Amino acid sequence: MSAFKTERATPVHPLVRLRGVSKRFGDVLANDGVSFDVPRGSVLALVGENGAGKSTTMNILSGLYLPDAGQIEVDGQALALGSPKASLAAGIGMVHQQFRLVETLTGFENISLAIDRGRFLQRRSADDALRQQMHDLGFDLDLTVPVWQLSLARRQQLEILRVLSAGARVLALDEPTSVLSPIETQGLFAIIEKIAASGRSVVLISHKLSEILGVARDIVVMRGGRVVHVGLAKDSDPDSLARHIVGDRRFTTEARPATRRGDVVLTVDKLSVADHRGARVVRDVAFKAHRGEVVAMIGVTGNGQTELMETIGGLRKPLSGRIESPQLNGRRHFAYIPAQHLGTGLAPGLTVRENALLGRQFLPAFGPWLRRRAVDANAREVIARFGVKIADNAPVRRLSGGNLQRIVLGRELQDDPKLIIADYPTRGLDVASAAQIRSALIAAAAAGAAVLMSSEELEESLSMATRVLVMHSGAIVADLPAEEADLETIGRLMIGGREAA
């Protein structure tokens, strides 16, 4: 312990101290001797790629996972591990990426779930302490409506309110900005600063560096289940952090293809679509996509993008409207990359070899009984496209998200498609995989395909798209060439604001 004492800048001991925390899931060592301190009254950012072990660490801290080894101290007291109850009692509050709210209950009922105030439920919608807390944080929440009626940003506020009113001293937020628009993100950071200023600690898990450097004081970088870098935000710059995050792998992003519009490949006219509950989620959408274009569909998640993509992909029946793609000859020249790679894009229990064959199994090259040699060659071709090593005889569910998406893309791009529909092609992927996926899509557009992609990252969309469609509550609210689009305008349009404020 003395070794750590000398490293600390402040004389007070840290609020949370993790030492040698390890956790194994099957063959994967998700956490490998993780040790770091969370100081009091400040914001610590835990950064790393997907699969770096950040969420596992936080799930261990909040008691959901029982680690195989290691200790955690809160305020100098050893924490009983593997018990959410003990973690809550010690003052550790977690806001998960997928909100832990009961959607059919009201906000007040959700808070009552967490706080024991006697056997019977209070009828009042909010008591004084709760109202004071909402006032301090600047929340404007109606606690009497069921959660499913609240926006994602409001739900997040409700979770934060619940965690704090349950007495949390450490607030851990797992990827809190992934569901927020840029303006909502600024609001969240203002809240985080208020919480830290009140003497509580905030642990922010993220993979968006630009955001973190503005709000965090300390930065802990994880890679492959280990802590690889600990430092102060003021001494860090995005480039050096990015190197810590990805290690010594090289990756490049190609520039967007030159805007040379070819023929129209896809015409969508007056299209309306209902979701599985029967609510209209796409309203009167009309646009065209040309060869050589990368069209980025931007919007806050849940504004109809996925339903629109699925309808164009033929997975969903439209309520009304028209989709035409005269140049396409059936499935052959059409590529569809679904938002969910495992399950929709790939069959989890089949091997890489079998998945690479799906959709092509009736081609004469494979013969009537699937010639083994042709099947193997096909798999090698799909894998080789991205220059990575993937064993082709294991079930695909064991692969990482990046490799899953490489296989989907490798398969879909095989026949030089003329139209590529990619629904959130880089979501949840690590930096290196996302860059490769982007390059592949840009290269396909340069080769004459029309690419229609949805994305939740503005910078990504603007860096690679030639045209930008902004979606808000089911309608296309803007259709601009990428050069004319700037972050601020689009950010405003995404949350339903006017083009010029």
Partner 1 sequence: MNPELLLAAAIIAGTPILFAALGELLSERAGVINLGLEGTMLVGAVAGFAATTQTGSAWFGTAFAAFAAGLFGLLFAFLVITLRMNQIVTGLAFTILGGGLSAYLGKPFIGKPVADVMAKPDFGALADLPFVGPAFFRHDALVYLAVILAIAVSFYIWRTRYGLILRSLGESPDVVDTLGMNVTLLRYVYVVVGTAFAGLGGAYLSLVYTPSWIENMTAGRGWIALALVIFASWRPMWLLAGAYLFGLVDALRFRMQIGGDALISPYFLNMLPYVATIVVLVLMSSNRSRLKFGAPAALGTAYDRERR
Q: Which stretch binds partner 1 (CB under 8 A): 105-113, 198-206, 214-222, 293-301?
A: 105-113
The dihedrals phi and psi of 167, each to the nearest 5 degrees, come to: 95, 30
Residue 62, interface with partner 1 (CB under 8 A)?
yes
312 CB burial (10 A radius; 0-12, 13-18, 19+): buried
Out of 35, 97, 112, 133, name the contact with partner 1 by CB under 8 A.
112
Q: Does 277 bind partner 1 (CB under 8 A)?
A: yes
**Contact range with partner 1 by CB under 8 A, out of 59-67, 304-312, 413-421, 462-470:** 59-67
**Sole binder of partner 1 in the list 100, 229, 290, 385 (CB under 8 A):** 100
Cα–Cα nearest to 410, from 393, 428, 392: 392
- Binding status of residue 120 toward partner 1 by CB under 8 A: yes
Structure tokens at 119: 């056997």
Size of the site for partner 1 (CB under 8 A): 33
If binding is defined by CB under 8 A, does position 228 make contact with partner 1? Answer: no
146: buried, middle or exposed (CB in 10 Å: 19+, 13-18, 0-12)?
A: middle
Can residue 416 be called a binding residue for partner 1 (CB under 8 A)?
A: no
Q: Which of 69, 78, 80, 121 binds partner 1 (CB under 8 A)?
A: 121
> Taking contact as CB under 8 A, which single stretch among the options 14-22, 33-41, 118-126, 491-499 is the one that binds partner 1?
118-126
CB nearer to partner 1: give 86 or 228. Answer: 86
Question: Token pair of 222, please?
Answer: 């994880």
Name which of 87 and 378 has its Cβ closer to partner 1.
Answer: 87
Least separation in angstroms between residue 112's CB and partner 1 is 6
Neighbours of 15 (CB within 10 A): 24
Q: How many CB atoms lie within 10 A of CB 284?
A: 14
Residues 6+ apart with CB under 8 A from 441: 294, 409, 420, 422, 425, 451, 453, 464
Taking CB under 8 A as the criterion, the residue among 113, 228, 342, 374 binding partner 1 is 113
Least distance CB 123 / partner 1 (angstroms) = 9
Whole-number Å distance between alpha carbons of 291 and 446: 9
Which residues in 174-211 are b (16+ Cβ under 10 Å) and which e? bbbbbbbbbebbbbbbebbeebbeeebbbbbbbbebeb
Cα 258 to Cα 332: distance, rounded to the nearest angstrom? 26
Q: Check binding of 94 to partner 1 (CB under 8 A).
A: yes
Q: Which of 11, 76, 118, 364 binds partner 1 (CB under 8 A)?
A: 118
Q: Is the CB of residue 261 less than 8 Å from the CB of residue 275? A: no
Strand, helix or coil at 31?
A: strand
Q: Which of 72, 101, 346, 435 binds partner 1 (CB under 8 A)?
A: 101
Rule CB under 8 A: is residue 152 a binding residue for partner 1?
no
Task: From 196, 161, 195, 167, select the one nearest 90 (Cα to Cα).
Answer: 167
Q: Which range in 32-40, 115-123, 335-343, 416-424 contacts partner 1 by CB under 8 A? A: 115-123
Q: Does 109 bind partner 1 (CB under 8 A)?
A: yes
Axis crossing angle, helix 152-165 with helix 107-114, rounded to the nearest 10: 30
Query: Which of 120/369 has CB closer to partner 1?
Result: 120
Which of residues 68, 69, 84, 381 is near partner 1 by CB under 8 A? 84
Residue 319 in contact with partner 1, rule: CB under 8 A: no
277 versus 317: smaller Cβ distance to partner 1: 277
Q: Which position among 8, 10, 25, 238 is part of the footprint of partner 1 (CB under 8 A)?
A: 25
- Asked if 114 is part of the footprint of partner 1 (rule: CB under 8 A), the reply reads yes
Task: Rule CB under 8 A: choose which of 5, 119, 250, 373 binds partner 1.
Answer: 119
Q: Does 104 bind partner 1 (CB under 8 A)?
A: yes
Specify the residue, 95 or 383, whose C-beta has the smaller distance to partner 1. Answer: 95
φ and ψ of 445, to 5 deg: -65, -40
Cα 412–Cα 417–Cα 419 angle in degrees, nearest 5 = 105
Among 5, 85, 373, 389, binds partner 1 (CB under 8 A): 85
Burial of 148 from C-beta contacts in 10 A (0-12 / 13-18 / 19+): exposed
Conformational region of residue 321, where left means phi above 0, alpha means psi within -120 to 50, and beta covers everything else: left
Q: Which parts of this chain interact with partner 1 (CB under 8 A)?
A: 25, 62-65, 83-89, 94, 96, 100-105, 109-110, 112-114, 116-121, 276-277
